[in-house]
Amino acid sequence: MNSAGPWTTENFEEMSWHDVHVHGFRFDTFKQDNGSADLVLDIDYILKWEKSGNGFLFTVCRADLRFHDVFGLKFELDYAEPTAGMCPFSLAGVERETVKSLNGYQSYKWRLPVNWPKGSLQFDAPGFTQVLTGIPHVQASQGLASENRSGGISA
C-alpha cells in the first residue's frame, strides 16, 4: 500500500485485509429512518509486507475501518470449539458483491471471513472509509502489541 489513506470504497481493489487483526468493533451513527448504523472495526492494518531473510517484516498501523449504513448484519465467531484463548480475531480478507435495486441504487453485500478463530461477518452496506489512528511500526508480527496500539495520530 503506497498511500497513508484515508481510503474509501473506490480504493477497494488496491487494498488487502489478509491477516489483519481486529481488536474491537462498535456501532456508530445510528439512522432511525432506515434502521442502519455504521460498523467500525478497530484493526491493525498491514500497510506493507516485506521479505526479510527467511521471514517477513510487516509495517502495521492501528486503523478504523468504518462500513457506512450497515444493515442485515450476521456475525459469527467461535472461540469455544478450538478452546482458543481470548485474542484479537484475524481476517482472511474482505469480499464484496455488487447489489443493484430496481430503482438503480447500488450497494454491496460484504463478507469478512475470519481465519482465526472460525467465523465471519456478513452485511449490506454502500461503502467504507478507513483511516489510520496510530503510528506505523515495522515488526516481525502481523498484529500490534498493546503498547504499540496507544498514542494516536494528532489531527
Tell me the per-residue pLDDT of 122-135, one tens digit each, with 9 for 90 and over. 999 999 999 999 99
More confident residue, 53 or 122: 122
Say what the pLDDT of residue 118 is: 93
Band of residue 151 on the pLDDT scale cut at 50, 70, 90? low
For residue 63, is pLDDT > 90? yes
Say what the pLDDT of residue 155 is: 39
pTM: 0.91
Say what the pLDDT of residue 152 is: 54
113, 95 contact by CB (below 8 A): yes
Domain residue spans in the chain?
A: 7-149
